[in-house]
């Protein structure tokens, strides 16, 4: 009986970690597809979803976001003008871990209290763009005493941050 419980707990933890890591890889792959320029010419037959287009039009900002074929979806999309009087539009896409990564709903819990930030935000990625080509991917970091900080992921990274 104890072996069955041990195997079930181990399977649950492995499923959680694999889901979290696979999700992180998918977010980075999406970021690289949107933001990191290819070296050399691009084969037109390879161009397809997911695709992103946004910019300023008369009367405001416009967003075309096609995620067909992508395994990740943003949990929050914010589009607006640049702050401080800029003329460009800005886009922020926030990605939270999938439900299969169940531990992200539980940990870390005690450091900030339930009324501040849900624990899933500890694992969030945020993609920010001011124009096509000016693109940054950030990982949320929550120090024990401060509010959230965003740490920029390296643009040539292919692997997500590994959480223990």
pLDDT at 154: 75
Q: Give me the long-range contacts of 36-39 (CB less than 8 A, separation at least 24).
A: 36/155, 36/156, 37/133
Query: 76-81 and 89-95: which strand pairing?
Result: antiparallel
pLDDT at 11: 94
The burial of 104, by beta-carbon neighbours within 10 Å (0-12 exposed, 13-18 middle, 19 or more buried), is given as: buried
pLDDT at 134: 79
pTM: 0.77
pLDDT at 10: 93
The continuous run of DSSP H or E covering 134 comes out as strand 134-141
pLDDT per residue rounded down to tens, the chain (164 residues): 799 999 999 999 999 889 988 988 888 888 888 776 655 555 555 555 677 776 677 767 777 788 877 888 898 888 877 666 666 788 889 898 888 888 877 766 555 554 465 666 777 888 888 765 678 889 876 655 556 677 888 767 766 766 55
């Amino acid at each position: 009986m104890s072996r069955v419980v041990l195997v079930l707990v181990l399977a649950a933890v492995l499923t959680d970690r694999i889901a979290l890591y696979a999700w992180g890889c998918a977010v980075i792959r999406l970021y690289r597809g949107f933001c990191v320029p290819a070296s050399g010419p691009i084969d037109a037959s390879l161009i397809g979803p997911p695709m992103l287009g946004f910019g300023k039009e008369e009367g405001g900002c416009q967003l075309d976001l096609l995620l067909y074929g992508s395994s990740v979806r943003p949990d929050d999309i914010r589009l607006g003008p640049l702050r401080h009087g800029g003329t460009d539009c800005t886009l922020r896409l926030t990605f939270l871990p999938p439900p299969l990564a169940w531990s992200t709903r539980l940990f870390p819990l005690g450091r900030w209290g339930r009324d501040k930030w849900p624990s899933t935000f500890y694992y969030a990625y945020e993609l920010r763009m001011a124009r096509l080509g000016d693109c940054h991917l950030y990982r949320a970091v929550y120090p024990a005493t401060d509010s959230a900080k965003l740490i920029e992921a390296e643009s040539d990274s292919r692997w997500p941050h590994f959480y223990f």
